[in-house]
Amino acid sequence: MNWRIVGGCFLVVGATTNQFAAPFESPLTRQPTENPLRWYEFASDASASQTVRIQTPTDAPSGEFNLTMPNLEVDTDAALDRFITITAIPGRSGEEEAVAQKITELVRAAGVADRRIVFDGADKRTRIPGTCGNLIISLPGGGRGPRTLLSAHMDTVPICVGSQPVIDGDQVRSSAPTGLGADDRSGCCAILTAILERMRRGDENFPPAVISFLVQEEIGLEGARHLDVSQVGQVDRAFNFDGGTVEKMTIGAIGGERMTIKLNGIPAHAGVAPEKGASTIVMAARAIADLDARGWLGRVEQDGKFGTSNVGVISGGEATNVITPETHLRAEARSHDPEMRSRIVAEIRAAFEKAAAEVTNDEGACGSLEFDSHVDYEAFRLPDDHPSILAASKAIRMIGREPFGEVSNGGVDANWLFRHGIEAVTLGCGQRNIHTADETLMIPDYLDACRIATWLITEGADGDSRRTA
Ligand SMILES: [Zn+2]
């Protein structure tokens, strides 16, 4: 096989199309130039140490180099079939059992022992009851090295129920008028592909790994929140496969808090004696107007700190002839800075308290406030040199893409994993237009996600030192 340097890259010369070639960081025993070079790999053989010939056009030296080749190949036809089968299974939040059953069946058939497959009972702790808990699969391995977690969520948003996945060019879409459900079945199937590939290559050849298929992500990260961490065990590196492009690594996310607000007023006949009442709608209006005027609603920037807030739901009153005695509101606050988020919540609370106290009837009786707030997910941010980030970057580069990190303004399962001491990078799988009827999956991206997931728990499982099986 011939290799040739082309503009700082090596290309395989004479590789046939079924001989997959992908660039990876140079594992050379000696560097041909001082420039950082990317290598194109001839990946027909797992982890084999091979000598290849490098041909150079001009300045770089040529010669024999000893390469250890990462095996990035997966069975792409099987990976795609798997996605189509599993995505066709209905499974909105709280109804994931059939999906979990199918996954269980496939990993069992691949040789994973029954005792390594457990449900953590999270569905007994979540806000809504579910048909099953988080599915946790342990792959004990036989190699030394970091213990790696791969995670994805099994539920889809309701618009995806009834999805009929069909291949359309280089995409998969639903032939029914539904969302596809690639969020997050593509994540599940990328991980599933990795498990099956690892079992095929021999679990005992790799360091330990653990997989979590989570429930109830779409209704507020409930599965991740109520994960039984004792079933997962200690983890050194973690990768959550969810929405977005393959290059994107979500390395942090905002924290969010939800408030329920109840205003109690004084009822009175609106025509006969309105002065006897204290209207909760007036209280709510005053509080909201006050927050808005002082910059605590919408995009919030106060004293150099940032966040967002919203009063999203308001309901109260049953008739126009009654001074409204009760109004319910729901609001939220977000910030990457937990202190700032708490401050926004405190301002919202104070504004409603003040309004309830100021709206009185003719005898000076005022309203009252019942205020409840709970943290949906806490903000987190991994350091740039975190082992999960380093490994994810390396994996993305190996498939020939340029990784970039992003801090999300929405909550992801990784927020809760972080609270449980599991520090995960979230990677995309090529889903597009998620949560809509136009959702599609980019097949090349999905297959790359399969390759990344596989590498992370096979040859890339031992961190920086390269395995030779
Ligand atoms: Zn998702």
Average pLDDT, the chain: 87
Distance 446 CA to ligand 1 centre (A): 14
Question: From the CA of 179, how far away is ligand 1's center (Å)?
Answer: 13
Rounded to an integer, the average pLDDT of 226-252 is 96
Span from the CA of 55 to the centroid of ligand 1 (angstroms):
45
Flag whether pLDDT at 199 surpasses 50.
yes
Distance CA 20, CA 186 (A): 22
pLDDT at 70: 64
Residues whose CB is less than 8 angstroms from the CB of residue 302 and which lie 6 or more positions away in sequence, other chains included: 295, 296, 340, 343
Please identify which residue in the block is written with the tokens 């599940």. Answer: 188
Q: How does DSSP classify residue 66? A: E
Got the DSSP string for 328-353?
EEEEEEEESSHHHHHHHHHHHHHHHH
**Distance from residue 447's CA to the centre of ligand 1 (Å):** 18
Q: Per-residue confidence at 85, pLDDT binned at 50, 70, 90?
A: very high
Mean pLDDT, range 388-409, rounded to an integer: 95
| Tokens encoding 369 | 């406030």
CA of 57 to the centre of ligand 1 (A): 47
Q: What is the pLDDT of residue 58?
A: 43
Residue 296 has pLDDT above 90, yes or no: yes
pTM assigned to the model: 0.76
Which strand (E) or helix (H) includes residue 427?
strand 424-427
Q: How far is the CA of 228 from the centre of ligand 1 (A)?
A: 20
User: In the chain, what are the domains?
Assistant: 2-68 (no CATH), 76-254+380-457 (3.40.630.10), 257-377 (3.30.70.360)
Of 246, 187, 213, 224, the C-alpha closest to 99 is 213
Q: Is the pLDDT of residue 43 over 70?
A: no
- Three-state SS for 130? coil
For the ranges 59-63, 259-263, 351-355, the lowest mean pLDDT is seen at: 59-63
| pLDDT per position as a tens digit, 130-152 | 999 999 999 999 988 999 999 99
pLDDT in tens, 167-190: 999 999 999 999 999 999 999 999
The secondary structure of 189-208, three-state, reads HHHHHHHHHHHHHCHHHCCC
- Percentage of residues in the chain having pLDDT higher than 90: 80
Instruction: State residue 464's pLDDT score.
Output: 56
Q: How far is the CA of 185 from the centre of ligand 1 (A)?
A: 9
Cα 204 to averaged position of ligand 1 atoms, centre (Å): 31
Bigger pLDDT: 36 vs 223: 223
Identify the weakest region by mean pLDDT among 23-27, 124-128, 137-141, 168-172: 23-27
pLDDT of residue 443: 97
Tracing tokens 């011939």 back to the chain, one arrives at: 2
Query: What are the tens digits of pLDDT across the range 361-380?
Result: 999 999 999 999 988 888 99
pLDDT at residue number 469: 34
Mean of the pLDDT values across residues 297-317? 97
Q: Is the pLDDT of residue 241 over 90?
A: yes
In this structure, are residues 337 and 305 in contact, taking their beta carbons and an 8 Å threshold?
yes
The rounded Å distance from CA 249 to ligand 1 centre is: 14
Position 432 confidence tier, pLDDT thresholds 50, 70, 90: very high
Give the pLDDT confidence score for residue 65 in this predicted structure. 44
Measured in angstroms, how far is the CA atom of residue 442 from the centroid of ligand 1? 16
Distance 357 CA to ligand 1 centre (A): 43
Q: Is the model's pLDDT at 230 over the cut of 90?
A: yes
Q: Of 316, 341, 329, 318, give the one whose Cα is nearest residue 287.
A: 329
Cα of 217 vs centre of ligand 1, distance in Å, is 7
Percent of the chain at pLDDT > 70 equals 84
Please tell me the predicted confidence (pLDDT) of residue 144: 86
Q: Using the mean position of ligand 1's atoms as its centre, give its distance from the Cα of residue 241 in Å.
A: 8
Question: Are 286 and 355 in contact, with CB atoms under 8 Å apart?
Answer: yes
